[in-house]
Amino acid sequence: MSDPLDLRGRGLSAVPSEVWQARGLRSLALGRNPLGAIPDAVGSLTSLTALYLDETGIEELPEALGRLQALRILDVAHNRLTALPAGVAHLESLEVLYLGDNRFAALPEPVRALRSLLYLGAAGNRIEALPDWIGELEALVELYLRGNRLAALPEAIAGLRALRSLDLRETAMAALPDWLAELPSLQRLDLRWNGFLDPPPVVARLRARGCVVWL
C-alpha cells in the first residue's frame, strides 16, 4: 500500500491492527483521534515518509519510532508530550517536525541529531531557554517558538545560516542581540506581543537589508 492512509477524526481509541500490516505505506494520518497511546507496531512501517499523530492525547511516543528512517515529516503537535524517545535521533531524513502545543520544558535532546531538519515548530510549550546545540541544525529554514517563556536567544543561533523565518511572538523577549542582523538568509522575524517599549536597535538594521519585521 503506497497511497496515503488518512484516518483523522474517526473517533478511534485504537489503531486498526491491519494498519500495522501495511508495510509499504508511505503516509499515515491518525490525528484528531483519542488514541492515548501509539504502539510499538508503528516501527514496522519502515516505508513511511509522513506520520501525523496530532491531537491524539498521547503523553509519550514509543522508542520504535526510531526505526522509521525514511520519515521526512513527523507531526506530534497538540498532545501532552514532555519528552521524545531517544530513537528520534535516528530519523536522519526528517525535514519537518511539529512539536507545538505540548508540555516540553526544553527542546528535546534527540532533536539535536536531526541535521536534515528544515522546519521546527515548537510553539505553545514551556521552553524557557534554547540549548546551544540549536546552532548545529544548520539546514534549518523555519523556526517557530511562539508562546514560550524565552527571555533571550543563545548566540549559537548565529550559526543558522539558512534560517529564513523566525517566530518569537508571545515570548518574554525584552531585548534582541545585535548579531541577529548577521543572519544572512533571515527574511521574516515576528516579534509581536512581547514586552518591547521601543523597537530593538537591530530591527532597523534588519529592515534596511530587506528583512520583514513585525512588532
Sheet holding 142-144, edge to edge: 5-6, 27-29, 50-52, 73-75, 96-98, 119-121, 142-144, 165-167, 188-190, 212-214
Report the pLDDT value the prediction gives residue 3, as an integer from 0 to 100: 84
**pLDDT of the chain along its 215 residues, tens only?**
568 999 999 999 999 999 999 999 999 999 999 999 999 999 999 999 999 999 999 999 999 999 999 999 999 999 999 999 999 999 999 999 999 999 999 999 999 999 999 999 999 999 999 999 999 999 999 999 999 999 999 999 999 999 999 999 999 998 899 999 999 999 999 999 998 878 899 999 999 999 999 99
Distance of alpha carbon 14 from alpha carbon 5, whole angstroms: 15
C-alpha of 7 from chain center: 22
